[in-house]
Amino acid sequence: MRVAEPLRVVCYVNQFFAGIGGEEKADTGPGVREGPAGPGLLLERLLAGAGTVVATVYCGDNYMAGHPAEAVAAVVDRIAGFRPDVVVAGPAFNAGRYGPACARVCRAVQERLGVPALTAMAPQNPGVELEGRGLIVVPTGDSAAQMGKVMPKVAELAVKLGRRVPLGPPAVEGYLPRGVRRNEWAPEPGARRAVAMLLEKLAGRPYVSEVPLPRFDRVPPAPPVADVRRATIALVTEGGVVPRGNPDRLEAARASKWLKYPLAGLADLTPATHEVVHGGMDRAPGNADPDRILPLDAMRRLEAEGVVGRLYGYYYVTTGNNTDMAAAARYGREIAADLLAAEVTAVVLPST
């Protein structure tokens, strides 16, 4: 086996780690330093000849935040000039502008240059949730004081990525789970593994789930509606029910938006007026009768009988299929603000 050539590594850092200055220099535009700077110095030592940091590309955190597309493009252009085998961005720890910037640079490097990239930041850094999907992110603590703890792992993964060695699962290799599932052979059949897990659980002993369930927030419940007969009820759905023709092009998955459509003059939804665009389920029942998802016919009846005060004149819709979690939370907040401004009392939310 011939000895591998040292990998060409390019680092991306912000104005502080590039040695330019602190917050007062956060408006600095993209630039380059030859060789390593900041964390790159430690990285190069840890690479121990397996790689050389040929350049450090930097950009001010404010400049990145204020010119997201243009700044990333300029950074990637500079990175490209050095023909790297791998790009290392950060570590950003819990820095809220730097983290997303690192993630965006990594994604652009991979997509535009086909070069592997990795970054490192605290799991709660907004860069993970907002921009980190699918990227290799080494988890760190909150503080840059832990640089020494994190860089050995960054160096190790940089070498693997640079040499195009396929990475094992997150728990083994030390990066954040990306939601990627890979099939592998287990020594025991699934039924045996499941029963073994169940026996551990029943005995109160620790066990490791093969499919860890995500944890979610608790939400303080809203107080009950005082008098439904005087209430304005709005319908909100993620079932992708839209006016026929989908005039605003609501996506079948990974919805980028929510929409608000009028119900004035309508007492019933039919295939002539509406359609279902949700791509994560069988659309046939909803297309045959959209009231099965957005129950307009029954709500109109309850309104006419005075069981509810009134049905709000608009409904809200998005597609709840592989929706980005942060985006979904934002849609909820925005719809809630709209509902409050319209003085809606309560919401019925049929979901698919």
Partner 1 sequence: MQITNVTSVALGVGSNRILPARGIPYPCGDPGLSPAAEYQWRRRLLEAALVALATPVREPTVFPVA
| Residue 348 in the binding site for partner 1 (CB under 8 A) | yes
290-292-297 Cα angle (round to 5): 80
Residue from 217, 245, 264, 341 binding partner 1 (CB under 8 A): 217
Task: Give Cα separations from 166 to 33, 133, 162, 178, 241 (angstroms).
Answer: 31, 18, 10, 15, 42
- Residue from 166, 172, 203, 216 touching partner 1 (CB under 8 A): that is 216
11 or 294: whose CB is closer to partner 1?
294
Q: Residue 163 interacts with partner 1 (CB under 8 A)?
A: no
Report how far apart, in Å, the C-alpha atoms of 235 and of each of 181, 280, 295, 345 are: 36, 21, 8, 11
The answer to whether residue 271 forms part of the interface with partner 1 (CB under 8 A) is: no
| Nearest to partner 1 of 184, 343 (CB atom) | 343
69 binds partner 1 (CB under 8 A): no
Other Cβ atoms closer than 10 A to 24: 10
User: Residue 156 or residue 324: which is nearer to partner 1 going by CB?
Assistant: 324
Shortest Å, Cβ 308 to partner 1:
7
Cβ 287 to partner 1 shortest distance, Å: 10
Please name the amino acid found at residue 302: L
Q: Does 282 bind partner 1 (CB under 8 A)?
A: yes
The set of residues, in sequence order, having a beta carbon less than 8 Å from that of 50 and lying 6+ positions away, is: 4, 6, 7, 159
From 11-19, 32-40, 141-149, 289-297, span contacting partner 1 (CB under 8 A): 289-297
Does residue number 286 form part of the binding site for partner 1 (CB under 8 A)?
yes
User: Which residue among 65, 73, 167, 281 contacts partner 1 (CB under 8 A)?
Assistant: 281
- 114 near partner 1 (CB under 8 A): no
**Alpha-carbon distance values, 347 to 16, 206, 298 (Å):** 48, 41, 15
Sign of the CA dihedral with 177 first, then 183, 184, and 188 last: positive
Angle of the 68-80 helix axis to the 98-108 helix axis, nearest 10: 50
Q: Distance between CA 65 and CA 193 in Å, rounded?
A: 47
**Which among 78-86, 102-110, 136-144, 292-300 is the span making contact with partner 1, rule CB under 8 A?**
292-300
Structure tokens at 114: 């086909």
What part of residues 308-327 is at the interface with partner 1 (CB under 8 A)? Answer: 308
> Which token pair is 316?
């809200």
Among the listed residues 75, 87, 120, 294, the single contact to partner 1 using CB under 8 A: 294
Q: Does 129 bind partner 1 (CB under 8 A)?
A: no
Instruction: Indicate the residue type of 123.
Output: P
Contacts 24+ apart (CB under 8 A), 121-126: 121/90, 121/91, 121/92, 121/93, 121/94, 121/95, 122/92, 122/93, 122/94, 123/176, 124/94, 125/92, 125/93, 125/94, 125/95, 125/96, 125/99, 125/100, 126/96, 126/99, 126/100
Cα distance between residue 69 and residue 247, in whole Å: 28
Can you tell me which of 95, 103, 239, 274 binds partner 1, judged by CB under 8 A?
239
Query: Near partner 1 by CB under 8 A, which window of 118-126, 138-146, 197-205, 300-308?
Result: 300-308
Is residue 267 near partner 1 by the rule CB under 8 A?
Answer: no
Q: Confirm or reject binding of residue 274 to partner 1 (CB under 8 A).
A: no
Interaction between residue 222 and partner 1 (CB under 8 A): yes
Task: Output 81 or 285, the one with its CB closest to partner 1.
Answer: 285
Query: Does position 242 bind partner 1 by CB under 8 A?
Result: no
Closer CB to partner 1, 185 or 216, in the complex: 216
DSSP string for 118-173? EEEE-TTSHHHHHH-TTSEEEE--SSGGGHHHHHHHHHHHHHHHHTTPPP--HHHH
Q: Does 187 bind partner 1 (CB under 8 A)?
A: no
Size of the site for partner 1 (CB under 8 A): 42
User: In the complex, which residues of this chain contact partner 1 (CB under 8 A)?
Assistant: 213, 216-219, 221-226, 228, 231, 233, 239, 281-286, 288-289, 291-295, 297-299, 301-302, 307-308, 346-352
